[in-house]
Amino acid sequence: MERTLSIIKPDGVGRGLIGEVVKRLEESGFKIIAMKMIHLTQARAEGFYAVHKERPFFNSLTSFMTSGPVVVMALEGENVIEKYRTLMGATNFKDAAEGTIRKAFATDIEKNVVHGSDSPETAAFEIGYFFNSFEIIG
Ligand code: ATP
Ligand code: MG
C-alpha cells in the first residue's frame, strides 16, 4: 500500500470543482484517508514548494497557491502515486491526455486544478506537512 498527497488548488476550489475531483478519486478506487480545507499563508506555500524555489515561476506559483482556499487530501492505494498522477494528467494541460482532470479542467500551465506527490519520499514529506497522525484514518 502506498500513500500520496492530493491538493485541489485555489482555481479548482474557486470554480466549484471539489465534488468533481473527489468523485474521480473515489471512482478510481483511491481511499481518502485524510481531508481538510485550508487557506495557505505565503510562508506555508513557500515551504511546501521549496524544491521549486530557484524556478522562474516560484513567486507566481506561491502567490497563486495562497490566492484562495485549497483542499488537501491523503490518498491510499496500490501504486497510488503513479495512478493518481496519471489521473491528473500532464503539468501543462495542453499535453494532458483525454480523460484526465487537467485535460478536463485546467486553464493554464500554472492553474492546473490539482497537485500530486511525485515519489514515496515526497509523499511522506507532503502528507506530514499538512496532517498529524491523529488526522489520518488509515
Ligand atoms: P504538482 O507538483 O502541482 O503536482 P507537477 O508535478 O505536474 O505538479 P511541477 O513541475 O512539480 O509539476 O510544478 C509544480 C507546479 O508549478 C505545477 O503544477 C504548476 O502549477 C506550476 N508550474 C510548473 N511549471 C510551470 C511553468 N513553466 N510556468 C508556470 N507554472 C508552472
Ligand atoms: Mg510536482
Cell of 21: 475531483
* Atom 30 (ligand 1) nearest CA: 110
Atom of ligand 1 nearest to the CA of 111: 20
- The residues that bridge with 6 in the sheet, in sequence order, are 73, 116
Residue 100 CA to residue 56 CA, distance in Å, equals 26
* Atom 21 (ligand 1) nearest CA: 110
Atom of ligand 1 nearest to the CA of 49: 14
So what's the pLDDT on residue 105?
98
Identify the residues whose C-beta falls under 6 Å from ligand 1.
57, 61, 91, 109-110, 112, 115-116, 118
- For residues 8 and 17, the answer to whether their CB atoms sit within 8 Å is yes
Catalytic residues: 115
Q: Which among 91, 100, 112 is the best mutation to test ligand 1's pocket, defined by most ligand atoms within 8 Å of the CB?
A: 91
| CA 49 to chain CA mean position, Å | 12
**C-alpha 128 to ligand 2 mean position (Å):** 16
Query: Who contacts 137 (Cβ-Cβ below 8 Å, separation ≥6)?
Result: 33, 34
- The residues that bridge with 74 in the sheet, in sequence order, are 5, 34
pLDDT in tens, 51-101: 999 999 999 999 999 999 999 999 999 999 999 999 999 999 999 999 999
Q: What is the pTM of this model?
A: 0.97
Chain-wide mean pLDDT for the chain? 98
- The mean pLDDT of 31-42, rounded to a whole number, is 98
- For residues 109 and 42, the answer to whether their CB atoms sit within 8 Å is no
pLDDT in tens, 99-111: 999 999 999 999 9
Q: For residue 138, what pLDDT band results from cuts at 50, 70 and 90?
A: confident
